[in-house]
Every structure is written in C-alpha cells, then in structure tokens.
Amino acid sequence: MIRRHYTWAARRTDDFSDLSWTNREYVGRYGSQVPDMWQERMKFWLAPVRKIKLFRRKTIVAGWISIFVLGWAGTCFAFQVSAPAPTPVVSPTRSVFPVATPTPAVPTPSPTPTRSAREWAKDLADPDPKKHTAAANALEEMREQAIPELIETLSSRSPLARALSATLLWKLGLPANSATPKLKSILARDKDEGVRLRAAQALSRIEANPDYVVPHLTKCLKTCSAWGRSEAAKILGEFEPAAKQALPALKHALKDSNKDVRSSAKEAIRIIEGDGGSRN
C-alpha cells in the first residue's frame, strides 16, 4: 500500500520537495521512517552504471599493475643484456686470453711413386688399349730418358710393343738417332707388315739419307696389303723431294683398285714434286 501510494505520489509530483514532504507526512502518520521511493528508483536505474564504474576502477587498477610489472621486467631484462662481462680473474700461471687448442695434423698422403721407363715399356705389350696408351703417353713425356728402353723394346716378342716403340722414336726425331741400326734391322727382317712400316716412318725423320728406306717402301707399294700400300705412300710423302726415285711406283699406284691407296699416292706425288709444299 505504501509502495503504491509513493509510486502514485512520485508520478503526480513534479517537484522533488513534494516528494520529501510526502515522505515526512507518512513518517508522522505511520510513526516510522519510510524509504524514499525516488532514491530506490535511482538505485535501480543506476545499478548498471555503478557496476560499470566498479569495472572501470578494477580495469584501471589492473592496467596500472600490469604496466608496473612489465616495466619492472623490462628493466631487469635490459640490465641483464647490457650488463658488462665479468672481468676474468688473472691467474699467475694462466693467460687471460684463450689459448687455441691445436688441431691434430692430418697425415698427408704419400706421393705416388713414379714408375720408371722400364716399367712403362713393359706395358706397351699389354693388349688393353688403356694400359698401352697410358704407357706410350708416359714414355713420350720422358723424351730422351725413354730412348734406351724404347730401343730395347724393339726386340720384344709383341708386334704391338715393337710398333709402338717405333712410333715413339719417330715422334722423338733426331735425338733418337741411336735407334737407326735397330730400325733398319726391323725394316729388313721383321715379319709384321705394320712394324716394318712404323720403322720406315721413324727412319724418315731420324735417317738423313733415305736411300735405304725408299726402296723398301717402293717394294711395299707392290707387295703389301691395301692398308700397307696406303701407309707406304704416306711415308714416302714425308721424305718429300728426297723420294723422287719412288715417283714411278707412286704413279703406278694411282691405278690401284683401292681408293685409299690412290688417294695417298696422289697426295705423296704432289708433295714430292713440290706442288703445295709439305703436308705439315
């Protein structure tokens, strides 16, 4: 009843003083303090605002605490980073500077022992192309040091070793002049056609007088195989004008049935007659 009357009175009253007067009237009538309805209504409507204010207070306090904690932590971290390194204690028996630990020495591989010319010369008889080619290259690099072994290899049982030795002596040229007697012997007596031709080729550069070699090559133009005839014509061309006595045989070889023989003979005639000079 009182609440309803106060609600009605609050609605009818435009002045706050009336509300307080009504409150005093009912205090005197009922003999007890009656709560002010306006204040009750204000409490009801302002309750969310109070909660918001309380929340803001708590948030502000928590923010300040967070700022303080983060600032303190940052200061400690910065001090730790920028703190100078501790001064090392100098010991009378120990250096202040760190001493590098010596790394164990890596054993260097021992150099591969170089093979002698005799050992390389033995590989000339090896049927493996890689081995005898490597041996020929090694002996060619040795130059004059390999000449004694090459002359000795001319007496080998292997036709391959004899042919390669003669070819290497041809590459060495005049320094291999000591091999002339052995090469002439091979040219006259060796049973292998290829070995004889390689000996004749070596003599074309070593022997100054071609009178001993040219007759053998001229004979080969008639009796050797097609490959031998072609090689003989090429070797005669290396003698250049000194092989003029072989011109009739070379001109006859122009009619050979083998194309390579005819081509080699034609080139040799051109060189011997002086048309175009040497092939080199």
- What are 56-114's pLDDT values in tens digits? 677 777 778 878 788 777 777 665 655 555 555 555 554 444 444 555 555 554 444 57
Number of domains making up the chain: 3
Domain boundary among 182, 208, 234: 208
Give a yes or no: residue 111 inside a domain: no
Domain boundary among 75, 94, 127: 75
pLDDT at position 226: 92
Q: Say whether both 196 and 217 belong to one domain.
A: no
| Under-70 pLDDT residues of the chain | 1-56, 77-113, 208, 275-280
Q: Say whether both 11 and 70 belong to one domain.
A: yes
pLDDT at position 152: 92
Residue length, the chain? Answer: 280
Give a yes or no: residue 87 inside a domain: no
CATH code (residue 148): 1.25.10.10
Cα distance between residue 280 and residue 268, in whole Å: 13
Give a yes or no: residue 268 inside a domain: yes
Give a yes or no: residue 83 inside a domain: no
Q: Say whether both 218 and 134 belong to one domain.
A: no
Q: Say whether both 143 and 202 belong to one domain.
A: yes
Q: Say whether both 133 and 203 belong to one domain.
A: yes
Domain limits at 175?
116-208
Give a yes or no: residue 27 inside a domain: yes
Task: Tell me the whole-structure pTM to 2 decimals.
Answer: 0.55
Give a yes or no: residue 89 inside a domain: no
Give a yes or no: residue 110 inside a domain: no
